[in-house]
Structure 1
């Protein structure tokens, strides 16, 4: 299995300028290849392949000397990224690709990495001092707060706010899965309670964005009064970014801890296959749904279950909150009604708890079919 391990790096000002410049060259190469692909298809109805892009890059390097400043690996990875994007589009998993703006292209990938700086063909490596090393950048300080475990596959350099991060993609041997139906739990996510388990446990919704909303509004009002491009404007932009980064970090920390404990405690976890993209179209609930981070939580559960030898089962969400978990009678009710009262057997349960039990039943049925 592949896992990403993220570490903060500390480039100096000169290195930051060079990294930012490389990012923009990669973005321009991406946009240029996208336009070439569109032009070729419109003229001759033929595909502009990755080989064609690499051939054009060789010609561009002779014409534009600034492209030689960037290591070849991140530039070539741009074409792989564009090819995958179009493959996803044709599979109807993504929208048609658009030209990338400055803020949209925020990472570059080094597909090869080594632990010493002897090899000339490696664009990034570790120096003898335990720092990131590149011949053009020099040594970059890195905070290795946990050991790198597994076979190194690639390195991603990414700015986030005012900080820079190195993300190592490592391959580890997955723990064999144990489909233990006796140690299974269903999870129903919501906005009042973040998660309700089928065994009755509840986790409160921390609503990090809502708590910082007043501060964000105040900071953004101040930003709107500053003269665009001035020193005070730039300072205020950084304050707003810092608040958003704080909220994102709090949410990510909460979800990491919750998903870790659940994947450790249960062998089989069952969740709903929610279409979050459609759910956020509801203008009254979109902010709260985005703040909850259900999609991120599901992705974390997925890889952590695999890492710990468990299994994550996704079931269709149809009628999980309507059906009675005791007798199966369908009791129609709106989302505003938070108590399930069965008209057939008289069962009275919390709305979310009833849904989580139904989710577990669906997951166990699916597990029997799988086995």
Structure 2
């Protein structure tokens, strides 16, 4: 399976400027290719393939000096991104591709990594010998990231990389730079799970409630920092756009958003890791978050909770540890009684489940989590829980 390892890198000022320039060139190539595809379709009523764009890019690199200093792999990967953007659009997973602004294009990918041994034949003598071929991105002897036409960059490897690195992406986040290694590794099948399964009901009042009654409180990172964020944004709006003070304040606002995102990401990683280690099978509701955020009263709280990111992290962590994440349909899991199965209708504001038929009184989310586990176990044909 594929996993990503993210580490902060510390380039010098010259390397920062070079990478900024490379990102700008990649963004221009993306926008240019997008416009070429649009014009070609308007004229010929058919699409322009990636291979045709790559041929044109090769010719442009010979003609224009601007494209020569940048390695070829990030430029070629630009066209793969555009092709993927169109594929996602036609398959209904995303909107139509748009022109990228400076803030939208923040990463470039080197699709080949490391050192490869190749057999080389001497044309004169006919002898064959093995030679090490270093790709555009690799690690040197001191574990520095070595990038073609850029040099060696120190990377803070705060944890070891487990597996074989297939590619690396360089990402700009505010004024910081990160190296993201895409690693191919085997699934860990030696994990001894303490509990066989659990049901998870996510919410706003509590981030998650498990079927065994465990509660995970909602940290509400955005709401806690909202007052400070509003003050910083108000200060930014009063400044002259484009001035030095405006640029500094814009960076301050950006850093606040980055801090909130990092806090949320750290929380989601820790909670999902704990669940993937504790339970062999985890059942969650298959929520339609895009429809739920249309409610303007709940949209901010739903985005702040990060349910979608939580499920994605939980899924790959479960797979990596030899477990399974199962999504089930969220039909009446909050309404049905977990003891007798009778449907007890209640508004969203009612937080306690009271069944008049069997006398069961439970927290609404706990009742839903039990129902989620029951439906999931029936779906997989597992024995019912005691």
Q: TM-score, normalised by structure 1?
A: 0.95
Q: Tell me, what secondary structure is at the counterpart of 2:182?
A: strand
224-233 or 24-33, which moves further after superposition? Answer: 224-233
Q: Structure 2: how far apart are the matches of 1:357 and 1:351?
A: 10
1:258 to 246, 262, 271: 271
Q: Is the 8 A contact 2:191 2:321 kept in 1?
A: no
Q: Structure 1: how far apart are the matches of 2:287 and 2:327?
A: 9
Q: Is the 8 A contact 2:336 2:343 kept in 1?
A: yes
Q: Structure 1: how far apart are the matches of 2:365 and 2:57?
A: 55
Q: Structure 2: how far apart are the matches of 1:181 and 1:264?
A: 8
Larger radius of gyration: 2
143-152 or 38-47, which moves further after superposition? Answer: 38-47
Q: Tell me, what secondary structure is at the counterpart of 1:364?
A: helix
2:280 is the counterpart of 1:280:
no
Q: Structure 1: how far apart are the matches of 2:148 and 2:237?
A: 42
> Counterparts of 1:334-345 in structure 2 under 5 Å?
334-345=347-358
Deviation at 1:129, TM superposition (A): 2.5
> CA 1:115–1:143 in 2, change beyond 3 Å: closer, same or farther?
farther
> Counterparts of 1:267-306 in structure 2 under 5 Å?
267-306=280-319
2:242 is the counterpart of 1:233:
no
Which residue number corresponds to residue 124 of structure 2?
Answer: none
2:52 is the counterpart of 1:39:
no
Deviations 1:274-295 (A, max 9, x none): 1111211111111111110111
Q: Structure 2: how far apart are the matches of 1:171 and 1:142?
A: 20
> CA 1:179–1:336 in 2, change beyond 3 Å: closer, same or farther?
farther
Q: Structure 2: how far apart are the matches of 1:289 and 1:132?
A: 38
Deviation at 1:317, TM superposition (A): 0.9
Deviations 1:80-124 (A, max 9, x none): 1111222222222222111111111111110001159x9666211
2:100 is the counterpart of 1:96:
no
Deviations 1:140-181 (A, max 9, x none): 111011111111111000011211000000001113499989
> Counterparts of 1:1-371 in structure 2 under 5 Å?
1-114=1-114, 122-176=135-189, 183-368=196-381
Deviation at 1:53, TM superposition (A): 0.9
Q: Which structure carries more helix by proportion?
A: 1
Q: TM-score, normalised by structure 2?
A: 0.91
Q: Structure 1: how far apart are the matches of 2:81 and 2:380?
A: 35
61-70 or 159-168, which moves further after superposition? Answer: 61-70
> CA 1:150–1:179 in 2, change beyond 3 Å: closer, same or farther?
closer
Q: Structure 2: how far apart are the matches of 1:135 and 1:175?
A: 34
Deviation at 1:47, TM superposition (A): 2.3
Q: Is the 8 A contact 2:115 2:132 kept in 1?
A: no
> CA 1:135–1:181 in 2, change beyond 3 Å: closer, same or farther?
closer
Q: Tell me, what secondary structure is at the counterpart of 1:183?
A: strand
Superposition RMSD in Å: 2.1
Deviation at 1:345, TM superposition (A): 2.0
Q: Structure 2: how far apart are the matches of 1:216 and 1:280?
A: 22
Q: Structure 2: how far apart are the matches of 1:360 and 1:218?
A: 44
Gaps of 5+ in 1: none
Which residue number corresponds to residue 123 of structure 2?
Answer: none
Q: Tell me, what secondary structure is at the counterpart of 2:297?
A: coil
